[in-house]
Amino acid sequence: MVIDTNISVDKRLMEVNYLGTVGLSKALLPHYVKHKSGHFVIVSSLMGKFSSPYRSGYCGAKHALHGFFDALRMEHEKDNIKVTLICPGFVNTEVSRNALTGDGSKLNSHDTATENGLSVEDFSKRMIKAIKKEKFEAYIGKFERFGVFVKRLSPRWLHCLVKRSEVR
């Protein structure tokens, strides 16, 4: 929970999930501008579009990616630079085991939603398809991807749905 999370954990999540991506992109950007061509593919998360309890630092970092790369896309469209934000939902990986707790230690457990998520192979195929189509954003997952659209219709309804889910 937010109240139980040390600020150092929030800073670490921003360093890895936001500033690492921004730093690498800034290093590549002059090359892309010089050649008038480039395509940034950013792996964000559905949590970059809407939040979930117990993931405040992660959600904040992923939201920040959207703000930064939406601006980069607008600033450098004239340079023929593309940006695709990939927004996975639950993918059956080790992400939940490696998630940080409020004190910065690893969670070291799987959650059911992640275990029942898309296979890495299925996710990868969908991601490649979105990149080839030069999509601005691609929401890749099962039922959870509809949260993006529910939030547009009714943020309060999405809030109630997410709070009832068994994600931890």
Q: In the numeric block, which tokens belong to residue 126?
A: 């969908």
DSSP bridge partners of 100:
106
Residue 138 has phi, psi (to 5 degrees) of: -130, 125
Q: In the numeric block, which tokens belong to residue 54?
A: 């117990």
Catalytic residue list contains 58: yes
Query: Which residue type, as a one-letter code, is found at position 119?
Result: S
User: Out of 18, 32, 54, 58, which one is annotated catalytic?
Assistant: 58
Torsion of the alpha carbons at 100, 58, 89 and 80, rounded to the nearest 10: -130
Catalytic residues: 58
